[in-house]
A and B are shown apart, each in its own frame.
Chain A
Amino acid sequence: MSTDFSRRGLLLGTAAAAATLAAPAVHAQGAVVLRYCGTAVNQHSGIKDKVKEDLGITLEYMPVTSDDVVRRAVTQPNSFDILDAEYWMLKKIIPSGNLVGMDANRITMFGDITPVFTKGEIAGRKIGDQGTAPRKVSYLPGREARTFSATPTQWLTLIPTVYNADTLGIRPDKINRPIDSWAELLNPEFKGKASILNIPSIGIMDAAMAIEASGRHKYADKGNMTRAEIDITMRVMTEAKRAGQFRAFWKDFNESVNLMASGETVIQSMWSPAVTKVRSMGVPCIYQPLKEGYRAWAGGFGLPKTLTGRKLEATYDFINWFLSGWAGAFLNRQGYYSAVLSTAQAHMEAYEWDFWMRGMPAAQDIKAPDGTVLEKAGAVRDGGSYEARMGAVACWNAVMDENDYMVRKWNEFIAA
């Protein structure tokens, strides 16, 4: 108790000292620098330049892996001013008390955020709720709470920035028949030509989608399995691995692109921009919609508890700016989805909106924000419209209650 007290005192002292040292510089410059910690997904120089131009705020990007986002948030909450985290991470971060609730009243566009987040539905229809669905971890009972609130409150954990629905990528030129189920991942027809990601918490969900689709087990919640369910999943996967089903497992974006583009694999779990990348290399690749639905993920901005004064104000300004359309259009043009659709639409050309969001054939060439041609005129987005894709979400990236056990079993699977 006493040691804890003195340590806190010391920390406060250091923080105060740091603040006095830093303060004159800030005032002299009149500009605020926000240290932005997150995965590289949203960290584009285009957004950074625009923020500087519109708000005068300098963003200092700290790109780290998603594992490191959690690690930093839990162990070094002083090292960033704004956290770009994914919703599943919250189950690890919020209990540490290092993030505080964001005041919904300060978010001007809060009422316009898509109901995918606020209600877990789209166009009035409920969407898949398995796993760490954003709706379950969006609210806190109070500003400094360490547990979640099941019902909406004034205090938000994250303000959604970007989200998407993931499925399997396939090489249509090497498969030559329609693929419509996750079960195909384990089909011996693709022996030695399949792959999943070696990120345990996501990989096991893709495995579960495949196992459930093949009728071997029906999960109550793929994002929160019991020990027995983890055992079943890993047993099926181990059998498949020993039978040589998998060519390799991938861990990052480029590995997945290389496996697919080089023909090492013909069917594998994949991320949307990776499919685009393969296609831009001239290799046919489809982000195949499947009848069991998608595994979705979502990210958002969180506030570290250390944030005060001008930096806190600047962070709210930045978040409000992020929802006001320019950034949303920027993200939509890469195949992601933004949180406030109406403002993003206002910043996009009609033909762009029709292609990305309405699932209509491209009226003219579709370009990425940097000007490279992503799709030729006439192309249609894999999976179709926003409603069709997000409406077919089956589960969300998750942290299970039995996470420790799952990681141990996953290590066994890799060793098997």
Chain B
Amino acid sequence: MPLALVLALFFVLPLLATAVVSLWDYTEYSLVPDVTARNYREMFEGCASFTLCTTFRTYLSTLKLCLLVWMFTLTIGFTVAYFLAFMVRTETMRTVLFLLCTAPFLTSNVIRMISWIPLLGREGVANRALKSLGIVSQPVEWLLFSEFSVVLAFVHLYTLFVTVPVFNSLMRIDRRLLEAARDAGATGWQTLWHVVVPLAKPGIVIGSIFVIVLVMGDFVTIGVMGGQQIASVGKVIQVQMSYLQFPAAAAQAMVLLALVLGMIVALTKLVDIRREL
């Protein structure tokens, strides 16, 4: 009961308030309580035509980044977790290596993100190395302020969010199942695909939810690493908030929320997390 109260107060109520405000009207300096579709109408203005409207374009750009980041974090995160769970032999070594993985997270994630800039810049470390090795004659421009740098920073920031839940799932796998698979003549890949991955599903889904939610709502990383030139839904909301267009921002937030919820529902359809846990 107390938990329900906390949830109602700090989760349901703000959410309802956002939903209500998204129907309000606004002026330069005030919010006007109202029931208007203005914010939603303006958001989807021009979306009926064949050229992409801003909102669709922004969502597509955000989704594309999200998909790329998801793919990389999942691959890398799973590989690291697999190595930790199955390849490392002693418990002590496993603990040490696991702690090593989390060590970078003791620093602020803004610092971890910004430290890429001197590395990737036009006159940065990477470009100087490439030039002195004679691989390129002109500095490579797409290393920084590009989708590449955004994805790189995201993967760096969020891989651990996949590693930990997947590692947790892998550790619960009964080792006898792997032996049984080998005895039955399965190759390493077959064991991985037919035994390990299905049993790691809860961890994979939980990690995926973390990554998707973090990337879909982000505006700082995309802003800094993308040189403020790449559209993201979070950035749109932030700009609207700073211009006191709270109702427009609230409407945008509701649409984003619906989309992310949809994605999470789809993921949980793949695997019943509650049963698996």
Contact = CB atoms under 8 A, between A and B. Distances in A.
**Interface residue range, chain B:** 20 to 34
Given A247-B145, A248-B145, A264-B121, A74 B29 contact: yes
A367 interface: no
A71 interface: yes
A65 B243 CA distance: 12
Interface string A49-69: 000000000000000010100
Contacts of A415: 54, 57-58, 61, 231, 236
Contact of B228 (A67, A71, A96, A251): A251
Contacts of B28: 91-92, 95, 399, 403-404
Main secondary structure of the interface of B (DSSP, over half): loop
B144 interface: yes
A200 B145 CA distance: 20
Nearest to A67: B242
A150 interface: no
Contact of A258 (B30, B42, B117): B117
B236 A249 contact: no
A361 interface: no
Interface in A83-97: 91-93, 95-96
Contact of A93 (B29, B141, B145, B235): B29
A163 interface: no
Contacts of A192: 141
Nearest to A195: B227
Interface of A: 65, 67, 70-71, 74, 91-93, 95-96, 192, 198, 200, 241, 246-251, 258, 262-264, 399, 403-404, 407-408, 410-412, 414-416
Given A247-B145, A264-B144, A403-B243, A414 B30 contact: no
5 contacts: A92-B28, A95-B28, A246-B227, A247-B145, A414-B229
B88 interface: no
Contacts of B122: 262-264
Nearest to B121: A262
A410 B228 CA distance: 12
B223 interface: yes
B236 A411 contact: yes
B123 interface: yes
